[in-house]
C-alpha cells in the first residue's frame, strides 16, 4: 500500500506578533507574501498558493500541518481510517479556498493535521526581494510524550512509512509518497508540540548566504552547517522572530525501494554519535536540543 499523503503541504503557526513574523520570513528566508490581513498571512516560496501560514495569537504555537494527498480518493481513505482508529475529525471543510478537498484530524497527543488535495499553483515561480528564496517547505519534526504511539497512529491513518528510528523510538523518521527519507519525524518530549520545520535549499551556496544574512541582522545559526546521518541531508538551523526553530536542508536521501526495511540506529547519549547526528562532527547546541514550541489549543482548520 502506497502512502496516502505525497508530501508536506504547508505549516500553519500561531505567532504573537504577526508583523514581526512576516518581516522575518521575508528578510531571512525570502518568502513571497501572497495575502495578509490583520490576523492571517499566507507566504510561499514557489508557485503553490501557501506553504507557511501565520495566525495572530497570544503565543507562538504549532497550529496545523498540511499534508498533500494526490487526490480526493486518498482524502476519503484517510477519513475512513481516522474514523476506524478513533482519531478526532475536526473538519471536512478545506482550510483555504485554493484547496478542493480536505479532512482535518486531531491526533491523540493534540497534533492537528489537514490532509488536502494539492493546493492551487497560482503564484509566480520566481519573485524579487531579499533573503534566500528556498525551493519549497520540506518536513516537520514533531515532539510527543509517547513518540512510538504517536508515530504508529500517524502511520496507520496516513499510510506513512517508517524509514529509520532509534531502538527506544526516542526519534523516528517517516516518509510520504515522494520517498524522501522523512516528511514527518517524532522526537520524545515532555509535552506535544513542534521541534522544527524545514525549507529545502537549492545548493550549498545558500547555506553560506544564510549565515551572512543572519550575521548582518546580528543573529546567528543555532547549529550547523552539517550533514545528518539520518536522512543524509545537509542542514543549518536558526530561530525565527516568532521563536520557531527553522531548518534549512538539501540533498535528503530518497527511498524508492518498496521492500525497504527501516533502519534502527543509536544516536548515542545526548546525541553524541556523530555518524547518526552530524557526519561532519559538530554536535548540537543545548539551544537546539532543548528547543520546543507547543501545540495550539484551537480546534479548527487554518
Which is nearer to Fe ion, 109 or 138 (by Cβ)? 138
Report the Cα–Cα distance between both ends of the chain, in Å, rounded.
29
Q: Which is nearer to Fe ion, 62 or 75 (CB)?
A: 62
227-266 footprint of Fe ion as x/- string (CB under 5 A): --------------------x-------------------
> Which residue is it, cell 514533531?
142
The CB-of-256 to Fe ion minimum distance in angstroms stands at 20
Query: C-alpha angle with apex 94: 185 to 81, nearest 5 degrees?
Result: 55
Restricted to residues 117-156, the positions that interact with Fe ion (CB under 5 A) are 141
- Please give the Cα distance from 164 to 181 (Å, whole number): 8
Least CB distance to Fe ion at residue 247 (A): 5
Task: List, as one string, the DSSP characters of 36-83.
Answer: E-SSEEEEESSSBS-SEEEEE-SS-EEEEEEEE-SSHHHHHHHHHHHH
Tell me if 164 contacts Fe ion by CB under 5 A: no
Per-residue x/- marks for Fe ion, 180-209, CB under 5 A?
------------------------------
Answer yes or no: are the C-beta atoms of 75 and 122 closer than 8 Å. Answer: no
What CA–CA distance (Å, rounded) separates 281 from 284?
A: 10
And the C-alpha cell for 115? 490532509
What's 98's DSSP letter? Answer: T
Distance CA(74)–CA(71), nearest Å, equals: 6
Whether the CB-CB separation of 230 and 158 falls below 8 Å is answered with no
Contact at 8 Å (CB) between 112 and 55? Answer: no
d(CA 208, CA 219): 14
- Closest residue to Fe ion in the complex (CB): 247
| In the complex, minimum distance from the CB of residue 183 to Fe ion, in angstroms, rounded to a whole number | 10
* Minimum CB–partner distance for residue 143 and Fe ion (Å): 12
- Residue 104 or 141 with smaller CB distance to Fe ion: 141
Cβ closer to Fe ion: 141 or 278? Answer: 141
Grid coordinates of 41: 498571512
Which residue's CB is nearer to Fe ion, number 186 or number 301? 186
To Fe ion, the closest distance from the beta carbon of 198 in angstroms equals: 5
Count of residues binding Fe ion (CB under 5 A)?
A: 2
Q: Which is nearer to Fe ion, 18 or 206 (CB)?
A: 206
CA distance 253 to 256: 10
Q: Site map for Fe ion, 210-229, x if CB under 5 A?
A: --------------------
The rounded distance, in Å, linking the Cα atoms of 294 and 178 is 28
Minimum distance of Fe ion from residue 162's CB (angstroms): 16
Using the minimum distance from each CB to Fe ion, give the nearer residue, 50 or 194. 194
Q: Crossing angle for the helix pair 72-85 and 147-158, nearest 10 degrees?
A: 130
CB closer to Fe ion out of 87 and 162: 162
Nearest distance in Å: CB 116, Fe ion: 22
In whole angstroms, how close is the CB of 101 to Fe ion at the nearest point?
28
Q: Which residues bind Fe ion (CB under 5 A)?
A: 141, 247
Amino acid at each position: 500500500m502506497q502512502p496516502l499523503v505525497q508530501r508536506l503541504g504547508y505549516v500553519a503557526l500561531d505567532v504573537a506578533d504577526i508583523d514581526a513574523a512576516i518581516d522575518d520570513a521575508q528578510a531571512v528566508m525570502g518568502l513571497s507574501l501572497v495575502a495578509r490581513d490583520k490576523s492571517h498571512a499566507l507566504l510561499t516560496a514557489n508557485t503553490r498558493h501557501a506553504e507557511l501560514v501565520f495566525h495572530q495569537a497570544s503565543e507562538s504555537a504549532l497550529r496545523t500541518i498540511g499534508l498533500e494527498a494526490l487526490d480526493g480518493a486518498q482524502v476519503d481513505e484517510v477519513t475512513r481510517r481516522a474514523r476506524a482508529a478513533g482519531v478526532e475529525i475536526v473538519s471536512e471543510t478545506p482550510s483555504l479556498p485554493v484547496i478542493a478537498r480536505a479532512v482535518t484530524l486531531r491526533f491523540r497527543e493534540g497534533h492537528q493535521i489537514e490532509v488536502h488535495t494539492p493546493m492551487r499553483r497560482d503564484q509566480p515561480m520566481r519573485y524579487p526581494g531579499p533573503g534566500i528564496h528556498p525551493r519549497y517547505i520540506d518536513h516537520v519534526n514533531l515532539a510527543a510524550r509517547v513518540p512510538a504511539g504517536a508515530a504508529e497512529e500517524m502511520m496507520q491513518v496516513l499510510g506513512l512509512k517508517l524509514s529509520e528510528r532509534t531502538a527506544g523510538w526516542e526519534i523516528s523518521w517517516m516518509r510520504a509518497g515522494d520517498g524522501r527519507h522523512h516528511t514527518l519525524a517524532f522526537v520524545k518530549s515532555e509535552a506535544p508540540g513542534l521541534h522544527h520545520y524545514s525549507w529545502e535549499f537549492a545548493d550549498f551556496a545558500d547555506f553560506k548566504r544564510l549565515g551572512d544574512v543572519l550575521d548582518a541582522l546580528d543573529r546567528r545559526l543555532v547549529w550547523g552547517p552539517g550533514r545528518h546521518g539520518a536522512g543524509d541531508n545537509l542542514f543549518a538551523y536558526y530561530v525565527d522572530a516568532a521563536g520557531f526553530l527553522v531548518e534549512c536542508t538539501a540533498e535528503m536521501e530518497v527511498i524508492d525501494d518498496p521492500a525497504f526495511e527501516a533502519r534502527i540506529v543509536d544516536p548515542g547519549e545526548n546525541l553524541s554519535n556523530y555518524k547518526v547526528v552530524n557526519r561532519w562532527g559538530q554536535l548540537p547546541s543545548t539551544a537546539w536540543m532543548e528547543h520546543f514550541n507547543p501545540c495550539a489549543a484551537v480546534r479548527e482548520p487554518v
